[in-house]
Amino acid sequence: MRKVLALACLLLVTSCAAAQQPPAPVADPARALSGKVTVDGMYQHLQKLADIAAANGDSRADGTPGFDASVDYVAGVLRDKGFDVQTPEFQRLVMSSPGKPTLVVSGRSLSVDQASPLVTTPSGGLSAVTLRPQRAAGCTAGDYGSVDVRGAIAVVDDTACSVVDKQNAAVERGAVGVLVVSDPGSTGSPAGLFTPGYYRQLTAPVAVIDEVADGLLRRTSAPVRLTLNAKGAIVTSRSVVAQTKTGDPHNVVVAGAHLDSAAGSPGLNSNGSGIAAVLETAVQLGSSPNIANAVRFAFWGSPDTGLQGSSTYVAGLGRGGLDDVAMYLDFALLGSTNAGYFTLDGDQSGQPNPNVPAEQVPIGSAGVERTLAGYLNLAGVRPADQPLGLSGDYSAFLRAGIPIGGITTGSSQRKTATQARIWGGRAGVPFDPNYQTSRDTIANVDRATLTITGPAVAFAVGTYAHSTEGPNGVPARG
């Protein structure tokens, strides 16, 4: 009997000790996570988004009930999985009428850019002479010196300060409007000219003119007529953001996709496919996983209407919040029917975009590209470089100095004969023939393509959730 009792006690102690042992670490956590993100799981989300579009006029565009329902669906899935979910609001500008902003000089009518559609000229336009400050930038009232611009339209250049500062200085000196001479070319306007939300701070008629108009103005002292009749309004929109409760909150991996569709489009490839892949990755990772670095999942509002969701979010992080972000991973159009397989060109090995100089690409972006490209190669598709630009949600992170990376299978660009030989499909046809149209339905999301790209999202998230170090890692932030 004593032997039986002793054996029972031994078994009890052994079983208790076993129960207290932590689970064995997964040998390859990134592969494990990518294996859980299945095409069936992603299609469940796609079907929900398709149902939302069908119930709301076949659109999920920002500012419509379909978009609001998309926000509610994504936020609900994340909350059900234990995430603390935020839906940060931001304001964006909506154009109600493009108008025909013009400047008439010496009888010649010239098109101009209206700085803010919230500020128009009186019916029939604004007639006045044009005068220039002694210092061309016109950033302060002192720049005008002895020049009396009361009742005149001030003409300034695009240097040294924001358009708001230029307006304020001119109005303080009595000007009734402002013309900013700027011919930005391919590199865009000078940094700091158009600050975030500048159009809400303008109260006087302000237009941007080119060098041709400036030359005509310099040859006359007669009054000109400025007509600014574009009209717009400010509306409030939302993004969805959720972060794991575990992992280092000061070394965060952010994975994002844009949440809206183009106007009049269900948006199931653009960007339901990205939403489905990022959302299913969040579902399979869970809200409290055993990871070294926190993961933040972001679903952006308004990329198809100006990127305000991501840009406002990044601008609001502040220095400390930016230092907490290790990298940003962006995913859009992952199921194109005539697919290519592109990774954002973090190492600048492809044809560079002149708008994004190599020295401005954050260090670490090359390693992120290698991780994504390596997965695609092992999945049996040869990746190509996607030139970096300023029209994606990643651009706000790039400007902030945060390493970026991402995957896309292409949109309206046409597949070349060489690309068709590499990837299959039809040469001379867009990668996504249904891009931003009413045909962007769930039936036109390619299942086989999403089988490759969806797990690639999870692989990248899983890789960096466990470590941002190593040859494909990123520098420590802060």
Instruction: Find tokens 């090359």 and name the residue.
Output: 366
- Domain end among 197, 229, 261: 229
Residue 286 shares a structural domain with residue 372? yes
Q: Of 229, 245, 279, at which residue does a domain stop?
A: 229
Q: Check whether residue 461 and residue 346 sit in a common domain.
A: yes
Q: Let me know if residue 21 belongs to a domain.
A: no
Cis peptide bond N-terminal to 472, omega within 30:
no
- How many CA atoms within 13 Å lie on the side-chain side of 234? 11
Does one domain contain both 276 and 168? Answer: no
196 and 110 fall within a common domain: yes
Q: Which domain holds residue 278?
A: 29-95+236-466
CB 103 within 8 A of CB 224: yes
Q: Do 141 and 181 fall into the same domain? A: yes
pTM of the model: 0.79
CA quadruple 254, 259, 262, 267: dihedral sign? positive
Largest Cα–Cα separation, the chain: 117
Which residue(s) pair with 405 in the sheet? 329
Q: Has residue 3 been placed in a domain?
A: no
- Considering the domain architecture, whether residues 219 and 241 belong to the same structural domain is answered as no
CB count in 10 Å sphere of residue 235: 14
* Chain length of the chain: 478
Tell me, yes or no, whether 5 lies in a domain. no
Query: Which DSSP category does 145 fall into?
Result: T
CA dihedral 193, 195, 197, 199 (to 10 degrees): -10
Chain-centre distance for alpha carbon 269? 16
Count the neighbouring beta carbons within 10 Å of the beta carbon of residue 248: 15
Amino acid at 182: S
Both tokens of 300, joined, read 């952006």
**Spatial CA neighbour of 402 closest among 478, 325, 300:** 325
The answer to whether position 201 is within a domain reads yes
Order of strands across the sheet with 113-114? 113-114, 206-209, 177-181, 153-157, 130-131
Q: State residue 115's pLDDT score.
A: 87
pLDDT for residue 478: 65
pLDDT at site 36: 98
Nearest Cα to Cα of residue 53 among 467, 329, 338, 440: 440
Within a domain: residue 2? no
Of 163, 165, 166, residue with least CA distance to 154: 166
Q: For residue 187, with 0-12 CB atoms within 10 Å meaning exposed, 13-18 middle and 19 or more buried, which class applies?
A: exposed
One domain for residues 444 and 347: yes
Helix, coil or strand: residue 91: strand
For residues 319 and 358, state if they share a domain: yes
The residue behind tokens 């489009």 is 265
* Beta-carbon contacts of residue 333 (< 8 Å; ≥ 6 apart): 269, 270, 271, 273, 274, 408, 409, 410, 411, 431, 432, 435
Closest alpha carbon to 387 in 435, 347, 423? 347
CB atoms within 10 A of CB 98: 12
Inside any domain, residue 476: no
Cβ-Cβ contacts under 8 Å for 393 (sequence gap 6 or more)? 256, 258, 300, 303, 307, 309, 310, 330, 332
Rounded Cα distance, 421 and 238, in Å: 42
Position 229 scores a pLDDT of 92
Residue 1 forms part of a structural domain: no
Is 311 found in the same domain as 167? no
CATH code of 207's domain: 3.50.30.30
Residue (of 391, 275, 371, 276) closest to 327 by Cα position: 371
Strands (E), 366-474: 384-386, 404-408
Tokens of 17: 């000790």
359 & 390 share domain: yes
Can you tell me the distance from the alpha carbon of 167 to that of 62, in angstroms, rounded to the nearest whole number? 31
332 with 424, same domain: the answer is yes
Which of 182, 214, 229 marks a domain boundary? 229
The answer for residues whose C-beta is within 8 angstroms of residue 109's C-beta and 6 or more apart is 102, 103
Q: Are strands 206-209 and 113-114 parallel, antiparallel or unpaired?
A: antiparallel
Residue-wise pLDDT tens for the chain (478 aa)? Answer: 444 334 333 333 333 434 444 445 566 899 999 999 999 999 999 999 999 999 999 999 998 999 999 999 999 999 999 999 999 998 877 777 888 999 999 999 999 989 888 899 998 899 999 999 999 999 999 999 999 999 999 999 988 899 999 999 999 999 999 999 987 754 566 777 888 778 888 999 999 999 999 999 999 999 999 999 988 888 889 999 999 999 999 999 999 999 999 999 999 999 999 999 999 999 999 999 999 999 999 999 986 556 788 988 998 999 999 999 999 999 999 999 999 999 999 999 988 888 888 888 999 999 999 999 999 999 999 999 999 988 889 999 999 999 999 999 999 999 999 999 999 999 999 999 999 999 999 999 999 999 999 999 999 999 999 999 999 999 987 6
Q: Are 446 and 336 in contact (CB under 8 A)?
A: yes
For 347-383, letters b (16+ CB in 10 Å) and e give bbeeeebeebeeeebbebbbbbbbbbbbbbeebebeb
- How many domains does one find in the chain? 2
**Does 308 reside within a domain?**
yes
CATH of the domain at 417: 3.40.630.10
Same domain, 148 and 33: no
